Amino acid sequence: MIIGVTGGIGSGKSTVARAFGELGIGWVDADDVAREVVAPGEPALAAIAERFGSQVIDSDGCLNRAALRQIIFEDPSQRVWLESVTHPRIRERLLAHLAQLSALSPYVLLVSPLLFESGQDRLVQRTLVVDIPEDEQLARTLARDHVSETQVRAILAAQLSRDERLARADDVIDNSHGIDDTRQQVSALDQRYRTSITRT
């Protein structure tokens, strides 16, 4: 069984994934895989450099994420192009990682901020949304990423609304009450997921 874990920026998806990991559950982060497919030497990075030029490549040959992020949030059509190049490659690599983990874990997590938007929810059997209020998302992201409020709001606008994400969730973790509370919710869900696998 694959559980898709998602939530808005700054909601604490990685914190929740690590809590599941402490219980012996394997997980793949779509953001990590997204970085893999644009690493130096990868075809996707070559395509990005060809389209946008040297401004999106650092001196060490790696992708300049800040420069690319600014381009795609200023011009949504460029984001569509970028996703057409990266999403199929991300999907292929996600499936390979998930297949490896499934041999070692009773169920696995696919952690993805764009689970619904990218269609990755079609790869999973259940969806788990990590939820916090939007003003908390904004504050956490500003403190963590050192980006402008305008850029964070643009990222929020590009993601599903909180209400729509919650409406599409099979399960929800409220991550606004501290790590101990979150771990308790994770433990309860872990028991439920293990039980459902046993029944099937």
Task: Pick out the residues of the known binding site for ATP.
Answer: 10-15
Q: Residue type at 50?
A: E
Q: How confident is the model at residue 78 (pLDDT cuts 50, 70, 90)?
A: very high
Q: What is the pLDDT of residue 200?
A: 61
Host domain of residue 179: 2-199
Confidence of residue 136 (pLDDT cuts 50, 70, 90): confident
Sequence ranges of the binding site:
10-15
The per-residue pLDDT for 124 is 96
User: What average pLDDT does the segment 132-159 reach?
Assistant: 80
For 27-71, write each residue's pLDDT tens digit: 999 999 999 999 999 999 999 999 999 999 999 999 999 899 889
> Which CATH number covers residue 15?
3.40.50.300
Q: How many structural domains comprise the chain?
A: 1
**Mapping DSSP to helix (H, G, I), strand (E, B) and coil, where does residue 100 land?**
helix
Question: Among residues of the chain, what percentage have pLDDT more than 90?
Answer: 70
Contact 124, 2 (CB under 8 A): yes
Residue 177 to residue 22: CA distance in whole angstroms = 19
Q: pLDDT for 101-116, tens place per residue?
A: 998 999 999 999 889 9
Whether the predicted pLDDT of 147 surpasses 80: no
Residue 156 has pLDDT above 80, yes or no: no
